[in-house]
Structure 1
Amino acid sequence: MEEVLIVGAGFAGATTARCLADAGHPVRVIDRRPHLAGNAFDLPDAAGVLIHQYGPHIFHTNSEKVFTWLSRFTAWRDYEHRVLAQVDGQLLPIPINRTTINRLYGLDLDEAGVTAFLEKVREPREPLKTSEDVVLNSVGRDLCDKFFRGYTRKQWGLDLSELSAGVAARIPTRSNDDDRYFTDRFQAMPQDGYTRMFERMLDHPRIRVELGIDFEALRDTAPRRFTVYTGPIDAYFGHRFGPLPYRSLRFEHEHLPATAQVQTVGTVNFPNQHAYTRITEFKHLTGQAHPGTSVVREYPCADGDPYYPIPRPDNEALFKRYEALAEVEPDVHFIGRLAQYRYYNMDQVVAAALSLAERLAGLYPAPSAPSTSDDQDWSAP
């Protein structure tokens, strides 16, 4: 009964597991999949190219605490992600910047000119309730329709006007030539891949990992002191109020044996053509040298494993009903994108898990003392 049960071996589960083990708790980690790392799982394909099985995962954060903690388990390869969008027969930078606008409209604007251009074409909206409000308020209707509306329809199965404002607010608009997709202080990829990082994270004498185990098979029988649950919160409660809506993805992987590189950047978006939303070429992300190359096309869909909580007011209201159940569930703690129904980035999940682990270490005194002073690094700033 002293053992902690952690359901899920992705970022939320693995981070919490390592923190609690470092603090002296014996931990049992289970995952229904046959591998670690959740959706960040990577592996060499049949040709030996390191790929991300569930689509590209680009690590970026402004949190020194998160970056330092993860650096215990991996060295890093510096990488700044760049994305192009195929619009009107051109490949243009996204997020929209000065280069995007000048090339799309045949202009030669400086930064001040781009700012003035955007001010002229934008459609002021107040308040900003939907993603359509955010985009029209920022870049106006033509850029909205060319870059955002079609992509959103494919990605979410909804129009921009049907999504909460926070979705579109994730993508900035720039008046300079900065073509990086992210501007975070720390941008890097695990040098040996995500899976190897997770293996090191869970390599601890107080952690045992069991893969291919469904929580439902043991939820009523497994002895444990408390549970950390990272799966879908509605599934935990048997969909008592109905299922929470999620968006899923289908991945089409392809290896091109006679081609060293097919794209000039890691990812190309297709807002208005094809059933897929984007193509990612993995060698850009990993820096791997290989005579061939491997890519993945992403096809959003309604059915399949849950990947993205769908941010809409009615979905949030339904989640709140499940959250109320979770708050009174004895000795069960919910963490992660699916358990908290939040569109978290990887670093946000790690930060939330570090905070949860620190709180749990206070709520539940450890039955054994940490073996080394380094065990407490997770709680340092």
Structure 2
Amino acid sequence: MPQGPFRTAAGVGRAEHPWCDANAVQGIEGVDELGTAVDYTLKSIEHGIENNVRDRYDVIIVGAGLSGCTIAERLSRELGKTCLVLERRAHIGGNCYDYVTEHGIRASKYGAHLFHTKHPRVWEYVKRFSEWIPFDHRVRGQVAREADNTKTLVAIPPTMDTVNALFGTNIKTEEEMEAWYASERIFPANGADPANGEEAALTRVGPRLYEAIFKHYTKKQWDKYPEELDASVLMRLPCRTSTDDRYFNDPWQALPKRGYTRIFENMIGNDANVDVRLETDFFEMKRLGTLPKHDLLVYTGQIDTYYAALGMPKLEYRSLRFEEEYIEDTGDDGLFYQEAMVVNYPGADVPFTRIVEYKHVPNQPEGRHERPGTLIAREYSSAEGEPYYPVPNPENRALYERYAELAAKEEGVAFVGRLASYKYFNMDEAILNALEVFDNFMETGVLDPKRAPAEFGAA
């Protein structure tokens, strides 16, 4: 593999192209309060509910992820509200939680998280809690060539280079690429809208790319073939007409210099108005009648769990299972296992969906890129485990609406975030939604979302 500080293929896994210049990344933005404070302790965060809990809080917040921490931070810093944040896990940060392993590699407990946003407000907000290293995420996929069925590494989402590599074409311009897509696409009869995910995919990329990259990957991810899912799932498949192989196109793409957990520590870890209690079950406290008095409750957990006592059907979620492996000697120069941080395996012949190699990212502890040994995580989709993705189909949507009707009648309780809204939010969307909840409180005195979940991004 090419030599250099990252020793990976050009542009893959690098923060930016000038990375090699003096081994320094240019364009770092933001402030890390924890890193600049003379005396900084995480005095707000404790395990268990036994000690140092006040008799009364302005707001109790269930969940210490993006939504809960953003609302707690805003209520405290802007309005001086006292908040009790209850988290059943042993850490803050929700699914963004990361840590440094015994081998000195920063890893994410719940899978790779790549921050990107097109919202100036979100970017300005997150810069208050971390230094951010520019990082253009690039994904590769092991995909079979049409001619001989041999696997090759191509850019995902597919680009001009992807199509040329898989199908033996010689497309050179964006106009030729547009024409290729036009020749491939298949539309429903009589001008009807796509009725399901498969029809949506065929209108976007045509049958060959659909079969090669999207069909079986979707089945592994959702345990449903695209024809069993809403059209919205695949309606927004990216159709790249250039050689731009960045996974995201948003103007701000970056990684927190010292990891995501540090952001949450800066948000609520040393706030006199905020108490955080880990390994604490909100429902058990509610059952025992031990919740402190409070004016408002913000609930960021699963909405069907909140109403479990009613005996209604459960909403369907997909989870992820990670098979981690530390590799001391990868061969070659011994530094990396694969070409990029994320390599997808869209074929039906492999049970996992992708392999993540954390060592590629630029926010690893100092010097870790140059030392042998690497950590990989094979990612499997599962019906069991922590809920990650709502399953978008008509049955689940109808069931969620029943829960949403109940939530709308719940006085003094705001249902906020991905699980409470049964809606997949990107990280920036979760933050923006929480900021708008705070806006609404400032304007109306009501702690509720300003917009319906469906108004954020893809379904």
TM tier relative to shorter chain: over 0.9
- The equivalent of 1:108 in structure 2 is 170
Q: Are residues 122 and 156 of structure 1, via their aligned partners in 2, closer, same or farther at CA, if it must alter by over 3 Å?
A: same
Partner of 2:193, secondary structure, is coil
Partner of 2:283, secondary structure, is helix
Q: Are residues 49 and 170 of structure 1, via their aligned partners in 2, closer, same or farther at CA, if it must alter by over 3 Å?
A: farther
Which residue of the other structure, out of 315, 318, 335, is the alignment partner of 1:244? 315
Kindly indicate whether residue 430 of structure 2 is the aligned counterpart of residue 349 of structure 1: yes
- The equivalent of 1:377 in structure 2 is none
User: Could you tell me whether the CA contact under 8 Å between 1:74 and 1:190 is conserved in 2?
Assistant: yes
Q: Are residues 345 and 239 of structure 1, via their aligned partners in 2, closer, same or farther at CA, if it must alter by over 3 Å?
A: farther
Task: Give distance in 2, aligned partners of 1:221 and 1:215.
Answer: 9
Task: Give distance in 2, aligned partners of 1:266 and 1:246.
Answer: 26
Kindly indicate whether residue 219 of structure 2 is the aligned counterpart of residue 153 of structure 1: yes
Over residues 161-184 of structure 1, what are the superposed CA-to-partner deviations in whole Å (9 max), with x where a residue is unaligned?
Answer: 111122223431111101011000
Post-superposition offset of 1:239: 6.1
- The equivalent of 2:272 in structure 1 is 205
User: Could you tell me whether the CA contact under 8 Å between 2:258 and 2:363 is conserved in 1?
Assistant: no
Which residue of the other structure, out of 355, 359, 363, is the alignment partner of 2:440? 359
- Code of the aligned partner of 1:315: N
Over residues 32-73 of structure 1, what are the superposed CA-to-partner deviations in whole Å (9 max), with x where a residue is unaligned?
Answer: 000010000000112110000100001000001001001100
Aligned residue pairs total 366
User: Could you tell me whether the CA contact under 8 Å between 2:257 and 2:363 is conserved in 1?
Assistant: no
Post-superposition offset of 1:3: 2.8
Kindly indicate whether residue 256 of structure 2 is the aligned counterpart of residue 190 of structure 1: yes
Post-superposition offset of 1:28: 0.5
**Please, which moves more after superposition, 326-335 or 265-274?**
265-274
Kindly indicate whether residue 73 of structure 2 is the aligned counterpart of residue 4 of structure 1: no
Instruction: Report which structure shows greater RCO (CA 8 Å, sep ≥6).
Output: 1
Pairwise CA RMSD: 1.6
User: Could you tell me whether the CA contact under 8 Å between 1:167 and 1:311 is conserved in 2?
Assistant: yes
User: Could you tell me whether the CA contact under 8 Å between 1:134 and 1:165 is conserved in 2?
Assistant: yes
Q: How does 1:227-306 map to 2 (within 5 A)?
A: 227-238=297-308, 240=310, 241-258=312-329, 259-272=334-347, 273-288=349-364, 289-290=367-368, 291=371, 292-306=373-387
Task: Give distance in 2, aligned partners of 1:362 and 1:20.
Answer: 13
Partner of 1:358, secondary structure, is helix
Post-superposition offset of 1:324: 0.4
Q: How does 1:29-48 map to 2 (within 5 A)?
A: 29-48=85-104
Kindly indicate whether residue 128 of structure 2 is the aligned counterpart of residue 72 of structure 1: yes
Partner of 1:225, secondary structure, is strand
Partner of 2:419, secondary structure, is coil
- The equivalent of 1:124 in structure 2 is 187
Partner of 1:172, secondary structure, is coil
Task: Give distance in 2, aligned partners of 1:186 and 1:168.
Answer: 24
Identity of aligned residues (%): 39
Task: Give distance in 2, aligned partners of 1:336 and 1:239.
Answer: 22
Task: Give distance in 2, aligned partners of 1:8 and 1:20.
Answer: 15
- Code of the aligned partner of 2:157: P
- The equivalent of 2:9 in structure 1 is none
Partner of 1:339, secondary structure, is helix
**Please, which moves more after superposition, 149-158 or 109-118?**
109-118
Post-superposition offset of 1:2: 3.9
Which residue of the other structure, out of 81, 105, 110, is the alignment partner of 2:137? 81
TM-score, scaled relative to structure 2: 0.77
Partner of 2:376, secondary structure, is strand
Post-superposition offset of 1:359: 1.8
- Code of the aligned partner of 1:276: F
- Code of the aligned partner of 2:352: Y
Task: Give distance in 1, aligned partners of 2:108 and 2:327.
Answer: 16
Find the structure with the greater CA-based Rg: 2
Post-superposition offset of 1:313: 1.3
- Runs of 4+ aligned residues of structure 1 deviating over 4 Å after TM superposition are 362-366
Partner of 2:403, secondary structure, is helix
Partner of 2:297, secondary structure, is strand
Which residue of the other structure, out of 86, 94, 111, is the alignment partner of 1:55? 111
User: Could you tell me whether the CA contact under 8 Å between 1:20 and 1:361 is conserved in 2?
Assistant: no
Post-superposition offset of 1:296: 1.1
Post-superposition offset of 1:257: 2.1
Q: Are residues 97 and 326 of structure 1, via their aligned partners in 2, closer, same or farther at CA, if it must alter by over 3 Å?
A: same
Which residue of the other structure, out of 397, 400, 420, is the alignment partner of 1:339? 420
Post-superposition offset of 1:287: 4.2
User: Could you tell me whether the CA contact under 8 Å between 1:50 and 1:286 is conserved in 2?
Assistant: no
- The equivalent of 2:282 in structure 1 is 215
Over residues 145-170 of structure 1, what are the superposed CA-to-partner deviations in whole Å (9 max), with x where a residue is unaligned?
Answer: 11001000000000101111222234
